[in-house]
Structure 1
C-alpha cells in the first residue's frame, strides 16, 4: 500500500506544472516536459534512461579541462595552419572520407567509467591516422587512461590536452571496443544499457544496465603488453603525434572558422565543455542548455557541422553508445560558445614514417 501511495505521489510530482518549478532544479520527466514545452531547437526524451535508472550513475569523473585548462603548458601550441577563406556550409567527416567511414563512425561506450577525455582523444587519433596515413586502426582508450599517469585519474576524470601530450611523447597502441579482440589493448569494460526504448527490446535484453555509481571507479592497471593472440609487441605497436595544438585565437568567429578549417583538412578534433542535466535527455535537433544542474566537464569528438532550422551546429560523437541520443551523436549550437564548447578544442597530426 505504501509503495502504491509513493508511486502516485511521484507521478503527481513529475506532472506538476513546470511554470511552478525552478528550471535549474528540474530532472527526469519534469525536465523533458519543460524542454519540449519551449518549442526550441531540440527535443528531449525520457527514453535515454531505463525506468528507475538515475542519470547520476554517469557522473563519475569527466573532463578536468573545464576547471583546470592547459594554461602555460609549453608543449601545446596555437593552431599553426592557415585558416581557409571559406568552408562548406555542411560537412560530415564520415562522408568526406568514405574509406575511413567505419573508423570515424565508431561510437565508443565509456560504460560507467569517467574516461570521456581518453575516449574522445583515442577516437580523434584513430580518425586522423586513417585520414592522413590511409591506415584504418582504432587506437586504445585503455592505453591512455591506464598508462598516462600525469593525464589524470583514469575512470575518475582526466585532461584531454594531456592525453594529446601523451600521444606525442609516449605514443598510443591500438585497441578496439570491448571484447573485440582487435588490436593490442581493447577497451576493458562491457557496454551497458544507458536507455530504455521498446523498439530496441532485443538489443536491450543483451545488455546489462549500467548499475550503481562507481562500479568501475578502479582504473585498470597499466600493462605494457598486448593481449594474448596479438602478434605485434607493445612497444612496436605505438602510434605517435608529430605535434598537437589548440584553438584559442580571438575573435571567436576566427576561432570557429579555424576549427572548421582544421576538421575540413585533417579530420576530427576534441572539445571539452560543461555538461548540464538536460543533455542527458537529448533526442534530436540542435542542443543548447535550457535547464537542469551543472554535472561535470565532458569531452567529445567533433566530426562536422551544418545548419538546421536556421541554427548553426557542430556534429558531435558522444560516448554513451549508439542507443543514446541520435544514434550516439548529437548536434550542439555552433558559434556562440555554447556550454564552453569552443573554449578548449584540440587536435594533432600523426607522425609519418621517417619523421
Structure 2
C-alpha cells in the first residue's frame, strides 16, 4: 500500500446542510429517521433492544477530561508502513485469542476505559505469551479495589491506567476454585488463588496512522478514545461518520482492524455497549483525522516476563492482578 493512500482518507468532509438537528434526542425514532433521510454511508436503527431510556451518562463521559496521555512515540520504518494491507481483522489473524472478538457490556455502570484497557492487555498478552485472561473477572476486581483509577463511571483517564501498569507491572493470577472467586474478595480466602507470573509492562504510542495500523498487525488491538455525538448511539450498519453537531462526551473503544467498503476506508471497532448495539457490538468507523483526535495517544503495550525471584515485587495491589481464564 502506498503512502498516498492514508492522505486521501482525510479529504472528505460533510456539507453543513448534511447534519441533523441538534434538538433531536439520542436513540429516538426521530433521530433515526433524520439520520437515514440523509442517505449517507451508514444506517441508523433501534439499539439496546429498542429502548430509548438508556442512561447515556453511564456509557460515556459527559464532561471534558484530559484523555491525551503522552507516551514514548513508536515509529515503524517506511518500508514496514508500505507493506500495510488494505484490510485487516485481528479476530481472524489470532482466532485462539477469544478476548479480541468478545463484546463487553457497560450495563453495570462500569466505565468504557476499563473494558478497553483490560481488554487490550488481555488481547496482547494472549498474542505475545499465549496466556488467556478472564476480562470480566479482572474488571470486577479492579472496580472493587478502585486503586488509583477513580472509576466513578467514566471519570478516569485511560492513560492513567496504563501509566500505573507501566510503573507497577502486572501479575497473572490462577484461581484454585472457580471464576466467582476473585482475588482478595469476600468470596475468597488467601489460599483460594495464587500468583502465576509477573510481567513488566512497556507502554508506547504509535505515531502516525500507518504506524497505528502496523502496531495492530504486530502486537494486537489498540485502545482509543473517541468523541461521541448524538447520532452514534443509533449506529446500526455501514461506515459511521458523524452527522450531528451535538456532542455528548468521550468514550473508549478498541481498534481491532480496518477495511474498505464502497471505496470508504474504515476502522473496525469493538465497543462495550453489549451485542444489542450496532453490528452485534461492533462498528466500522470512517478513517479520518478527527475521528479519534488528531494527537490522541493510543497506548501500545508489550510485556517482559520476569523470572528472577528477587526482581519480582513481594507486595502488590489488586489492580495489578489479571485473572487467568
Q: Same fold (TM over 0.5)?
A: yes
Mapped partners of 1:314, 1:169: distance in 2: 30
Task: Please point out which of 87, 91, 94 is paired with 1:90.
Answer: 87
Task: Please point out which of 100, 106, 118 is paired with 2:102.
Answer: 106
Q: Which has the higher strand share?
A: 2
Q: Does 1:119 align with 2:115?
A: yes
Q: 1:79 to 1:224 in 2, by over 3 A?
A: farther
* Cross-structure match for 2:33: 33
Larger relative CO (CA 8 A, sep 6+): 1 or 2?
A: 2
* Cross-structure match for 2:237: 284
Cα pair 2:198 2:305 within 8 Å, conserved: no
Number of residues of Structure 1 aligned to a counterpart in Structure 2: 282
CA displacement at 1:321 relative to structure 2:
1.1
* Cross-structure match for 1:344: 297
The CA RMSD over aligned residues, in Å, is 3.2
| Worse overlay, 76-85 or 342-351 | 76-85
Mapped partners of 1:60, 1:301: distance in 2: 18
**1:311-330 matched pairs, under 5 angstroms:** 311-330=264-283
* Cross-structure match for 2:126: 130
**1:31-180 matched pairs, under 5 angstroms:** 31-51=31-51, 53-55=52-54, 57-60=55-58, 62=60, 67-70=65-68, 76-79=71-74, 81-82=76-77, 84=80, 85-100=82-97, 102-139=98-135, 140-172=138-170
Mapped partners of 2:37, 2:239: distance in 1: 16
Cα pair 1:104 1:127 within 8 Å, conserved: yes
CA displacement at 1:86 relative to structure 2:
2.0
Cα pair 1:61 1:115 within 8 Å, conserved: yes
CA displacement at 1:298 relative to structure 2:
0.2
Mapped partners of 1:224, 1:65: distance in 2: 33
Q: 1:156 to 1:99 in 2, by over 3 A?
A: closer
Deviation track 1:165-206 (CA, whole Å, cap 9, x = no partner) reads 22233345669xxxxx53764xxxxxxxxxxxxxxxxxxxxx
